[in-house]
Chains A and B, each alone.
Chain A
Amino acid sequence: MYQAVRDALSIVLAKDDTAVVFGEDVAFGGVFRCTMGLAEEFGRERVFNTPLTEQGIAGFGIGLASMGHTAIAEIQFADYIFPAFDQIVNEAAKYRYRAGGQFSIGGLTIRTPTMAVGHGGLYHSQSPEGFFLGASGIKIVIPRSPIQCKGLLLTSIRDPNPVLFMEPKILYRSAVEQVPIDDFNIPLSRAETLMPGSDLTLLTWGTPVYHCESAISLLRSPPPTLEPLVPPSLRSATVELIDLRTILPWDIETIVESVKRTRRLVIVHEAGMTGGVGAEIAAEVQKRAFLRLEAPIRRITGWDVPAALQYEKFNMPDPIRILDGIMETLTY
Chain B
Amino acid sequence: MIRVVRCLRHLRNTPLRSWRALSTAATTIPTASNQGALPTSRSPIVSELRFFDSVTNEQGHIPTYRVLDGVGIPVEGGQLPEINEEFARRLYEHMVLLPTVDNVLYNVQRQGKISFYYGEEATIIGSAAMLAPDDDLKLEIGQYREMGVLLWRGFGIDAIMAQCFGNLEDKSGKGRQMPMHFGSPEHHFHTISSPLATQIPQAAGVGYALRRDPARRDKNVACVYFGEGAASEGDFHAGMLLASTISCPTIFLARNNGFAISTPAHEQYAGDGIAARGPGYGIDTVRVDGNDILAVMNAVKEARRRCLASGRAVLVEAMTYRVGHHSTSDDSFAYRGRQEVDNKKKIDNPIMRFRLFMESRGWWNDQEEDALKSRLKKDVLTTLRKAESLKQSDLRDLFTDVYAGEEPWNLREQREELAGLIRKYGEAWQPWQSELKRFRDEGKKLAD
Contact = CB atoms under 8 A, between A and B. Distances in A.
A18 interface: yes
B206 A53 contact: no
A95 B397 CA distance: 15
The bracket for how many chain A residues form the interface is: 35 or more
B201 interface: yes
Given A59-B198, A63-B205, A51 B401 contact: no
Contact of A91 (B176, B181, B198, B204): B198
A69 B176 contact: no
B174 A100 contact: yes
Nearest to B211: A45
A98 B173 contact: yes
A253 B402 CA distance: 21
A327 B383 CA distance: 70
A99 B181 CA distance: 9
B173 A53 contact: no
Interface string A45-59: 100101101011011
Contacts of B185: 102-103
Given A63-B202, A100-B170, A50 B402 contact: no
A73 to B, nearest CB: 10
Chain A interface mostly helix, strand, loop or mixed?
Answer: mixed
Contacts of B203: 63
A94 B194 CA distance: 12
B405 A60 contact: no
A64 interface: yes
Interface string A212-244: 000000000000000000000000000000000
Interface string A65-78: 11111010000000
Nearest to B184: A102
Contacts of B257: none
A159 B408 CA distance: 14
Given A100-B170, A100-B174, A62 B202 contact: yes
Contacts of B409: 249, 252-253
Interface string A133-173: 00011010000000000000000000111000000000000
B378 to A, nearest CB: 29
A53 B403 contact: no
B208 A63 contact: yes
Across the A-B interface, give the 5 residue pairs with the lowest CB-CB distance, nearest first.
Answer: A63-B205, A59-B201, A56-B238, A249-B408, A67-B209
Nearest to A138: B403
Contacts of B400: 101
